[in-house]
Chain A
């Protein structure tokens, strides 16, 4: 298998073709990002100029200040809402899901496989099938219009993240737990002081995924929230776009600033994302 010789001419051409192909595919994937970014710094007329301009000239920084001060798109408030929503869900998911994942991955008890099987069923259950009664219940209690319906379910756990975390909990050596039990540690202490430190990285992974999914969540905020000031960003952008369809430069600036935090988060943590996804489907 070892090829220590200098790459032949054929291999070098193969390499070049490979990179040319990959760069071409990358360009296709990047084009929408690129177009969004340059359009965010153009006026409407410049966006639709013919021939196409590939760089905004001049760069319209005023689009950004205009977005931050508009009354029909309270961007700063909605940004804060999104941070609150995604952050709370991420923390809750890490705590609640690690309880169940510990139980499924590390402890042996009668009925475990049944309950885990039901968890997989819950994972496959389309939200669309169950959301009506849940909505009606929240509306009966009078808590629609608040974040309670959006956040409370995660106090109990989430099938997808329990599934993901369980893969990592199964990797914790059983000897570690048995030894702690011999020392007389309570099951709660074993979970908190011995197992949790072992799965610190997986917990961060799950927290990151929960952040991204919640940041991009659209349907639940749409049905539960009514006040523009309470909207998270994706819903705020939707509302603005559907009412002011012609103001493309503001929409693009809004889209850019909505997407940017998640892109930045990903760029700093992408190794962890990759690890989280590699764990899926193994068992």
Chain B
């Protein structure tokens, strides 16, 4: 490589001339151009078109017909919409924080060097690699009432286990429980944050206070708040779109008794079973508004609880 032999004074040139700066700026735009086009085609335009379709009656064939707020009115009086929104909110409100707490606990446990550290890390990460379809099918087998191994084991212990995914009162909670299994990404993101804490900071904290608890609350947690923010925002957005597990386990009707009926399943059903694009688009718009408000709220409060070392770039 010719570059490594470049004269060292090149590195300390005091000022770059304007021509070079213009060249760099032009290159910057050119290199970003494919992505700018991609964002326009696959994010910006579809977003606006979704808002438009939401105001029309549109059944794939034929032209969309303007109906104003009718689709939103139809949603308002649609029990499936409310049921799925309720299920999805319960799912997200419990699954996301519980998952983050467990992932953080696992990361803290993993953050020490032992002979088996690599092994544990691998095991905790594996569920993430399991395709959601395959994972859900395996859990359906494990949790089969009466004949499944989990219930056989629980009954052998003298307990009276529920019917899990087939019990209308337990199915949603079982779905939440299953969503906690693939938490490898969250755990490793936290672990990355823990391992980035400078040694001297950690050791100074050890000297200052003998109580491990203090160190966790006052030193460790504040230093990994950027990872908490990342996991929280991504987790919430994904939880609103939970789909694969729900449709594998509950189909498009949310069996049993709509207990596993999720927002995205109802949207999918509206679009591809009933070909009611207008209604589906209205659901998408409602979700967009909810996600937007929640994300803004989180980022707004984040200023007071997220600590960035060295500030912004």
* Contact in complex: A278, B196 (CB < 8 Å): yes
Which chain B residues (37-86) contact chain A, with CB distance < 8 Å? 37-39, 41-43, 45-47, 49-50, 53, 60
Specify which chain B residues have a CB less than 8 angstroms from the CB of A111 in the assembled complex. 29
- Cβ 8 A contact of B121, one of A216, A255, A259, A274: A274
- In the bound complex, what is the Cα–Cα distance between A248 and B135 (angstroms)? 13
Determine if B261 is an interface residue (Cβ-Cβ < 8 Å).
no
* Contact in complex: A219, B42 (CB < 8 Å): no
Instruction: Report whether over half of chain B's contact residues are helix, strand or loop; otherwise say mixed.
Output: helix
Determine if B165 is an interface residue (Cβ-Cβ < 8 Å).
no
Known A-B contacts A1-B206, A259-B131; the reply to A273 vs B188 at CB < 8 A is: yes
- In the bound complex, what is the Cα–Cα distance between A216 and B106 (angstroms)? 24
* Contact in complex: A32, B138 (CB < 8 Å): yes
Instruction: Map CB proximity to A onto B274-299 as digits: 1 under 8 Å, 0 otherwise.
Output: 00010011001101100100010000
* Contact in complex: A29, B243 (CB < 8 Å): no
Specify which chain A residues have a CB less than 8 angstroms from the CB of B193 in the assembled complex. 278, 281
Specify which chain B residues have a CB less than 8 angstroms from the CB of A78 in the assembled complex. none
* Contact in complex: B50, A130 (CB < 8 Å): yes
* Contact in complex: B137, A280 (CB < 8 Å): no
Determine if B257 is an interface residue (Cβ-Cβ < 8 Å).
no
CB < 8 Å A-B pair total:
312
* A96: nearest chain-B partner, CB-CB: B34
Specify which chain B residues have a CB less than 8 angstroms from the CB of A191 in the assembled complex. 31
* Contact in complex: B109, A21 (CB < 8 Å): yes
Determine if B251 is an interface residue (Cβ-Cβ < 8 Å).
yes
B6, B133, B189: most-surrounded residue (chain A CB, <10 A)? B133
Determine if B185 is an interface residue (Cβ-Cβ < 8 Å).
yes
* A251: nearest chain-B partner, CB-CB: B137
Determine if B253 is an interface residue (Cβ-Cβ < 8 Å).
no
- Cβ 8 A contact of A238, one of B133, B149, B240: B133
- In the bound complex, what is the Cα–Cα distance between A107 and B24 (angstroms)? 6
* Contact in complex: B41, A107 (CB < 8 Å): no
Specify which chain A residues have a CB less than 8 angstroms from the CB of B216 in the assembled complex. none
Specify which chain B residues have a CB less than 8 angstroms from the CB of A180 in the assembled complex. 3, 6
* Contact in complex: B34, A259 (CB < 8 Å): no
* Contact in complex: A281, B10 (CB < 8 Å): no
Q: Which 7 A-B pairs have the closest CB atoms?
A: A156-B38, A278-B192, A109-B28, A187-B27, A255-B134, A103-B31, A107-B28
Determine if A131 is an interface residue (Cβ-Cβ < 8 Å).
yes
- Cβ 8 A contact of A108, one of B28, B126, B189: B28
Chain B residues engaging chain A, CB cutoff 8 angstroms: 1-3, 6, 10-11, 13, 16, 20-21, 23-32, 34-39, 41-43, 45-47, 49-50, 53, 60, 106, 109, 114, 116, 118-135, 137-139, 141-142, 144, 147-149, 152-153, 156, 181, 185, 188-189, 191-193, 195-196, 203, 206, 226-227, 229-231, 233, 237, 240-241, 243-244, 247-248, 251, 264, 267-268, 271-272, 277, 280-281, 284-285, 287-288, 291, 295, 308, 312-313
* Contact in complex: B32, A103 (CB < 8 Å): yes
Specify which chain A residues have a CB less than 8 angstroms from the CB of B34 in the assembled complex. 96, 99-100, 155-157
If A29-B123, A136-B53, A182-B6 are given as contacts, then 15 extra A-B residue pairs at C-beta distance below 8 Å, sorted by A number, are A25-B120, A32-B138, A96-B35, A124-B237, A128-B284, A130-B47, A132-B277, A179-B10, A191-B31, A194-B1, A233-B131, A238-B248, A241-B248, A278-B189, A283-B308
* Contact in complex: B109, A39 (CB < 8 Å): no
Specify which chain A residues have a CB less than 8 angstroms from the CB of B142 in the assembled complex. 31-32, 35
* Contact in complex: A132, B129 (CB < 8 Å): no
* Contact in complex: A280, B192 (CB < 8 Å): yes
- Cβ 8 A contact of B189, one of A18, A104, A183, A277: A277
Q: Which of A47-55, A58-66, A69-77, A199-207 contacts B (4 or more CB under 8 A)?
A: A47-55
- In the bound complex, what is the Cα–Cα distance between A263 and B60 (angstroms)? 40
- Cβ 8 A contact of B13, one of A51, A136, A178, A187: A178
